[in-house]
């Protein structure tokens, strides 16, 4: 009987040790989870800030590239297809594009010289001057 009691006491001690170990492990896991949660919040904040900076930079770059591309595109289209007024449509001057198209049809193509000249003017201007004159200032002719 004494062996059974010792065995029972040993099992109870082991069970107590196991419960205590499980409690310590649970506490450590809880602390680790809280630390991980804080780190994740910090990382998310930094990632959000970095993404915002990247977005602003990308918009600025896109705006600069778009202005330059419109200059080259409008200039080349003005030289090649000036009479059709396509270069006007690219710059957002729809009314002027239609006027140029109609003038070219009425004059049997003579008005296409206007588009050719405008194409050359677009390509000879600096990027900044073109942007300020035709995209910001909205100057529709020459």
pLDDT, tens only, 41-85: 887 788 778 777 777 766 665 555 555 578 999 999 999 999 999
Residue 126 in domain: yes
**Contacts made by residues 70-78, CB under 8 angstroms, sequence distance 24+:** 70/135, 71/122, 71/123, 71/125, 71/127, 71/130, 71/131, 72/123, 74/119, 74/122, 74/134, 75/119, 75/120, 75/122, 75/123, 76/119, 76/123, 77/119, 78/115, 78/116, 78/118, 78/119, 78/120, 78/122
Establish if 18 belongs to a structural domain. Answer: yes
- Lowest average pLDDT, out of 50-59, 107-116, 133-142, goes to 50-59
Answer whether residue 49 is part of any domain: yes
Q: Dihedral, CA atoms, 50, 55, 58, 62, nearest 10 degrees?
A: -170
Confidence tier at 18 by pLDDT (50, 70, 90): confident
Dihedrals φ, ψ of 138, to 5°? 55, 45
Domain assignment present for residue 141? The answer is: no
Number of domains in the chain: 1
Q: For a pLDDT cut of 70, what percent of the chain falls above it?
A: 86
As a whole number, mean pLDDT of residues 105-127 equals 92
Q: Are 34 and 27 in contact (CB under 8 A)?
A: no
Task: Answer yes or no: is 62 within a domain.
Answer: yes
Reading the block at residue 4, the tokens are 């059974």
Tell me which residue range forms the domain holding 19.
2-136
């Amino acid at each position: 009987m004494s062996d059974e009691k010792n065995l029972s006491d040993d099992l109870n001690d082991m069970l107590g040790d196991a419960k205590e170990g499980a409690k310590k492990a649970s506490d450590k896991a809880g602390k680790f989870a809280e630390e991980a949660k804080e780190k994740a919040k910090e990382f998310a904040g930094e990632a959000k800030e970095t993404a915002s900076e990247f977005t602003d930079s990308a918009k600025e770059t896109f705006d600069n590239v778009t202005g330059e591309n419109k200059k080259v595109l409008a200039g080349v289209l003005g030289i090649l297809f000036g009479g059709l007024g396509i270069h006007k449509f690219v710059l957002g001057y729809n009314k002027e594009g239609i006027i140029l198209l109609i003038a070219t049809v009425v004059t049997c193509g003579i008005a296409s010289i206007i588009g050719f000249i405008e194409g050359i003017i677009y390509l000879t201007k600096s990027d900044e001057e073109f942007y300020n004159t035709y995209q910001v200032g909205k100057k529709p002719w020459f």
